[in-house]
Amino acid sequence: MKRYRDRFLKFLALERNAAANTIASYGLDVDRYLRYLQDREVALPDQVTEEHAAGFFLSLRDRGLSPRSVTRAISAVRGFHKFLLGDEVTRCDPTETLDTPKLARTLPGVLSPPEVARILEEPHATPGDKRQLWLRDRAILETLYATGMRVSELTGLRRTDLSARTGIVRVFGKGSKERLVPIGIPALRWIARYSQQCRPFLLRHGCADDAIFLNARGNPMTRMAVWKIVQAHARRAGVTGEVHPHTFRHSFATHLLEGGADLRAVQEMLGHADISTTQIYTHIDREYLKEVHRTYHPRG
């Protein structure tokens, strides 16, 4: 079964042009599925029945996984069986007629505009910091909020992706899909300050090619490094609760919709293939409307 799993992952990479993170996650999910089948003495793809697949789907809820992880695992297993069928390894798909278990859809955490402002304004110069890393941190935070991009998209930004003249940044999302996103003057100004006063100093210590955001060694930033920067400045700004790069993405979308932005435009800027993914933010928007009603209506 393992060799079919390896062929499936190669198919995702070569034929579907799936992102590296997606391939890695699907690999872990299929591995978990194959262990489940092995425990039930299922050694060949043709031996898998609907009962086996349904049992695995139900077992996911008992593992304490998040709804997002469960949904992804189910998608990985369905994709695996479709691949086996399409490659004529099997003659039927045991997941074809199965219903996906209903999962509670949780709303993402969102910052208020004042909280965003406090975090953005937190980075400041410190005595003895010749590298002026605070400029880099401010530019990172401004870019995350101005564009709603994912942390992996931010770390992959190149100087050639940014056009200060047009105010547009080119973003490469999941599956290397390209989209153009407005970035706004404040973020552009902070990127310019960082590029002039901080980045040249960092570049002396590494070989970052054309990457915009560099670490202290002059190499491209990692996702984990950006996570730590966001969390550190949120904590210093006195913002409670979980704050991470994706929180800025959620806040970006929510604040746009609360300001009257069109859902399709927000979908385009977020890079969502399906508008139903973007529609989760309309639920947050309704909560905002209810809060306004409670606050200002005489019978609220």
Question: CA 47 to CA 85: how far, in whole Å?
Answer: 13
Whether residues 118 and 265 fall in one domain: yes
* 214 vs 133: CA distance, rounded Å: 10
How confident is the prediction for the chain on average, in pLDDT? 88
Whether 101 is in a domain gets the answer: no
* Sign, CA torsion 3/8/12/14: positive
**Residues spanned by the domain of 31:** 2-86
Determine the pLDDT at residue 245.
94
Q: Which of 35, 67, 86 is the last residue of a domain?
A: 86
pLDDT of residue 148: 94
Report CA dihedral (210, 211, 217, 222) to the nearest 10 degrees: -150
Residues 43 and 153 in one domain: no
**One domain for residues 22 and 127:** no
Boundary residue ending a domain (70, 86, 102): 86
For position 84, what pLDDT does the model report?
A: 94
pTM comes to: 0.69
Residues 41 and 128 in one domain: no
Do 140 and 278 share a domain, yes or no? yes
Is 44 in contact with 54 (CB distance < 8 Å)?
no
Phi–psi pair at 243, nearest 5 degrees:
-130, 125
Task: Decide if 104 is inside a domain.
Answer: no
Residue 178 belongs to domain with CATH number? 1.10.443.10
Are residues 174 and 261 located together in one domain of the fold? yes
pLDDT at residue 20, as a whole number:
85
Residue 96 placed within a domain:
no
Residues of the chain below pLDDT 50: none
Q: Residues 288, 282: contact at Cβ < 8 Å?
A: no
**What is the count of structural domains for the chain?**
2
Q: Which of 86, 105, 121 is the last residue of a domain?
A: 86
Residues marked as catalytic? 150, 174, 246, 249, 272, 281
